[in-house]
Amino acid sequence: MQGVILAAGRGRRMRPYTDDVPKAFLEFDGRTLYDRQRDLLEPYVDGTSVVLGYRHETVLERYDPSDPIVLEGWDRYENAASLLLALERIDDDLLVINGDVLVDEREIGRLAGAFDALDGRRNLVGCIPGLQSAETAIRWDETGRVSAYGLIEGHQHAGFGVVSRDHRTAAMRILRERLHDWYPCVYPRTPTRPLLIPAERHVELNRPTDLDRLRAWLASDRIRCA
């Protein structure tokens, strides 16, 4: 399995912090989100790629990330194009994480274990329990298969999951048709199961007001994170 960090977007809501670099390369206590994510994924993957776009020249020069993939024309597409580019380059199961998300390492372990138990027959997508309609959400049917996603009433998409190599071809076809969509559009259209994670084991950086919450989350003795 290969790790993929999606970090091509500009992160306008995080201005002025993202004037020079995307959100994944903001630093906390001398380490970037990207660095923490890469260490978080390392025990479960053979390597980690990062999809870059906005300010990629600065990122490459300043941080020298491992296995960068540059999305040309990043500002013309949504993050479906980022996942498509990764799938085109990497013929493997992909453990995908958004560039602005941190998750307790125990949840990454649960994800990897659950995926192994499925023998690659299903994708997995992390979700936070509790119906809501303010963030990207996932719904599933009575069989446990993901059936819908979007700004809908459902369980919040937690910004990480596994796209199985078994469904790589179908996923690429779907994403090519939806380059202006968010990449979770692939989940209802390929066999996917949800993985519910506790809300307190997940943090997302969307706005400057989230900075203090992220620092407190990292400092908590209840959290295990790189």
pLDDT of residue 17: 75
Task: Compute the distance between CA of residue 222 and CA of residue 226 in angstroms, rounded to an integer.
Answer: 13
Contacts from 146-152 at CB under 8 Å and sequence distance 24+? 146/187, 146/188, 146/192, 146/193, 146/194, 147/188, 148/188, 149/182, 149/184, 149/185, 149/187, 149/188
**pLDDT tens-place values along the chain, 226 residues long:** 999 999 999 878 878 877 888 999 988 888 999 999 999 999 999 999 999 999 999 999 999 898 999 999 999 999 999 999 999 999 999 999 999 999 999 999 999 999 999 998 999 999 999 988 888 999 999 999 999 999 999 999 999 999 999 999 999 999 999 999 999 999 999 999 999 999 999 999 988 988 999 999 999 989 998 7
In the CATH hierarchy, which top-level class contains the domain 2-219? alpha beta
pTM of the predicted structure, to 2 decimals:
0.95
Task: Compute the distance between CA of residue 193 and CA of residue 164 in angstroms, rounded to an integer.
Answer: 11
Domain boundaries, the chain: 2-219
